[in-house]
Structure formats: C-alpha cells, structure tokens
Amino acid sequence: MSLKADLTSTDLAEIRQSALGAADPLGIAAELAAAVDAGRLSDPDDAGPALVLAAEIAESRSKLDAGLRYVDRALETYGKSDDGPAAAARALRARLLFRAGREDEALAEIEPLRPLLTQDTEAPAYISVALAVGGRARLAEEWLTEAVQEVLAEREGPEPTSAEDAGLLFFLLQQRHRIRHALGRQHDTHDVLAERLETKLANANAQAAAAGSSDDLLFWPQAEFETLVTRFPALTEVYGADWDEHRARLERELVRRSGPDVVLVPGTVAGLEAAGDPSDAKTRADYVSASTDHISWPPERNSPCWCGSGNKYKKCCLPRSRG
Ligand SMILES: [Zn+2]
Ligand SMILES: [Zn+2]
C-alpha cells in the first residue's frame, strides 16, 4: 500500500481504522513517518498523531524498538507541550518501555502523568492501560482510588446519576472497576456506583443505536445463529451464510459506524419470535429497539473478542473487517 501524496486528518483516521488489519502494517507505519519527514501532511499539527499511530502499529507487531523510535519522534514534535495528546504519547512510551522490560524508565515516564488523573478525562484510560501492561495493576488501583477520593471530596451535591453528570469521575470509576475486576477484588461502594453508571450509559447507548430502527447491529451468538438459520434459512441472506460471515459483516458495519457509542445488540431466537414474525424486517428492527442488552465495541486489541469466541479481539473479529 502506498499512501496518498498529501495526508489529511481524515486520511489519518481512516488509516487508524484499517492499518492493523492490513497486509503490511509496518510498511504503513514507515510510510507515515516518511510522510512526516517529507512534510506531506495537510495539517502540520498532525505530525505528532501520525507518529503516535506509527508507534501503535509497530507495537501491535511487537516491534518495540521501532515503536519507541516513532514515539520519541512524536514527543519531539510535541516539544514541551503537556496537553492531552502529548501526555497520551508519554503513556504510550511508558507502555512500550514496560513491554521492552525497561521498568524503571517506564515508571519514570508514567509517574509525572499521575496528576492528570484528576484533570483529563482520557488520562484514567491511558494511564491504567500502561500500568496494567507493565504488570502494575495494583499500582493503577492505588492511583485510581486516590483520584476517585480526591474528586469525590471536591464534588458537591448528591451522588451522580449518569455518566455525563459524573464527568471525569465516571472515567476514573470505570477504569478502577475494570482494574479491580482483573485483580479479583470484591465490589466496594465505588464499584457499585461505577456499575450503576456503566449500566445506565450502556442502556442509553443501546437505545440510541437502536433508534435508527434497523437490525444492522443485531448480533447472533454462535448457538443462536445456528438455531436461527436452521429454522429460518432465508435469514442467511440478512445475517450471513455462516457464523464467520455473520461476524465479518458485523465487524465491517461497526468499523463503518465507528464512534464512541457503537454497541451491538445480542439476539436470541426465542426473543425474536416473541416479538413477531422473524422473517419480517420490521419485527427485527422493533426487537432491536426494544432490547436493553448490549455489547460495547471495540474491545481492547488484547481483550476477549466481542463475539464471545474467547479469542483475543486482534486474532478474531478485528481482522475479519478486512476480509
Ligand atoms: Zn463489577
Ligand atoms: Zn470474534
């Protein structure tokens, strides 16, 4: 693949979507760096994000040295800036250092970012991911707990009732909850609040996704899929000839719609039949609209795939979108 002569921000977003599933992702990373060198970015401010993207691509192929070279160059372009993108790039650098076994350097990179936990809504995610990758989930838990307490102490009024209402606190609670599940902790009151806000947000997202009144994001788990197409063979036209094709179609549709609120609605044959005639498209759309069940997308590359196969997303449905 050869990149276009001049790269816009939209091009970069598209490359981000497609590069990891491409035949030669490292070639794309090298071309991104070359485009920066040659001044072939429509917006010079995209140099940092382009190099960060190159570093992430290299990381995805476990090319840690290349990843570090790209991220170092990204940090050079950010200069002394310590705003969100620069901080996220530092967290990426820490993650690469952890992966490369350079723990002390990784910690030295990540520790100065800690105050951002109570300032930047994206910090809880990139900091906890870096620490978890470095086998420091307990440290992440400690930092997040302290940040939650700090934000709660400053917060006035009643407990938040929605993710929007909670703001930064939501992102802290969410990451803390995730990390504590990974550590096998019992729920505490912060986790209970996190789960309540997460459920509310997920339901709102599922309703928003369903409001388009189509069954495009209706997902049939494997056993349900087999039952569905055995009983209603005509539906293979709609959902795919087999389960692999079904998942590939969904993954492509998810990539196409890609945004922070995309969710899948898992279906059951019994549920659909209760809603009416399964061969009727309107029945299926209504069934999706009425569902409060959801699967959020995309998972982390190394997390279990959304389809429930038990395989890592990067080895399961992520590559299907390229098929
Ligand atoms: Zn939980
Ligand atoms: Zn999958």
Q: How many Å apart are CA 103 and CA 94, to the nearest integer?
A: 9
Residue 57's nearest CA partner among 6, 97, 21, 11 is 21
Q: Is the pLDDT of residue 45 over 90?
A: no
SS3 annotation, 179-233: HHHHCCCCCCHHHHHHHHHHHHHHHHHHHHHHCCCCCCCEECCHHHHHHHHHHCH
Q: How does DSSP assign 250-308, residue by residue?
A: HHHHHHHH-STT-EEEE--HHHHHHHS-TT-HHHHHHHHHH----EESPPPTTSBPTTS
pLDDT over 80 at 318, yes or no: yes
Q: Residue 89 pLDDT > 60, yes or no? A: yes
Distance of alpha carbon 184 from alpha carbon 158, whole angstroms: 29
Cα 166 to averaged position of ligand 2 atoms, centre (Å) = 32
22 vs 3, 277, 296, 302, CA distance in Å?
13, 40, 24, 17
Ligand 1 centroid–CA 195 distance in Å is 6
More confident residue, 94 or 300: 94
Share of the chain above pLDDT 70, in %: 93
**Contact, 31 vs 22, CB < 8 A?**
no
**Which one is predicted more confidently, 255 or 153?**
153
- What is the predicted pLDDT for the residue at 27? 93
pLDDT (average), residues 23-38: 92
Q: For 206-251, how does the pLDDT look when each residue is reduced to its tens digit (9 = 90+)? A: 666 656 556 778 999 998 999 888 888 888 888 988 999 999 999 9
Report pLDDT digits (tens) over 257-300: 876 678 899 999 988 988 888 888 888 888 988 888 888 888 88
Question: Which residues neighbour 204 within 8 Å (Cβ) at sequence distance 6 or greater?
Answer: 162
pLDDT the model gives residue 139: 98
Give the residue among 97, 116, 14 at the shortest CA–CA distance from 55. Answer: 97
**Residue 123, pLDDT above cutoff 90:** yes
Instruction: Go through the domains of the chain in sequence order and give each one's CATH number.
Output: 9-199 (1.25.40.10), 211-322 (no CATH)
Task: Round to whole Å and give the CA distance between 78 and 187.
Answer: 40
Q: For the chain, how big is the Rg over CA atoms in Å?
A: 22
| pLDDT over 90 at 12, yes or no | no
Q: What is the pTM of this model?
A: 0.65
Return the higher-pLDDT residue of 254 and 92. 92
- Estimate to the nearest angstrom the gap between the alpha carbon of 128 and the chain centroid: 14
Q: How far is the CA of 318 from the centre of ligand 2 (A)?
A: 7
Confidence band, pLDDT 50/70/90 cuts, at residue 2: low
Ligand nearest to the CA of 181: 1
Which among 86-100, 202-216, 306-320 has the top mean pLDDT?
Answer: 86-100
Per-residue model confidence (pLDDT) at position 49: 92
Is 319's pLDDT higher than 80?
yes
Sorting pLDDT into bands at 50, 70 and 90, what band is 77? very high
The whole-number pLDDT of residue 310 equals 87
The arithmetic mean of pLDDT across residues 297-322, rounded, is 88
Q: Are the C-beta atoms of 305 and 317 separated by less than 8 Å?
A: yes
Give the ligand at the shortest distance from the Cα of 178: 1
Interatomic CA distance for residues 209 and 223, integer angstroms: 24
- 158's CB contacts (< 8 A; 6+ apart) are none
DSSP annotation of 165 reads: H
Nearest partner of 303 among 88, 145, 133, judged by Cα? 133
Question: How far away, in angstroms, is 312 Cα from ligand 2 center?
Answer: 8
Nearest ligand to residue 197 Cα: 1
> In sequence order, which residues have a C-beta less than 8 Å from that of residue 309 and are 6 or more positions away?
222, 316, 317
What mean pLDDT is reported for the chain?
88
CA of 127 to the centre of ligand 1 (A): 20
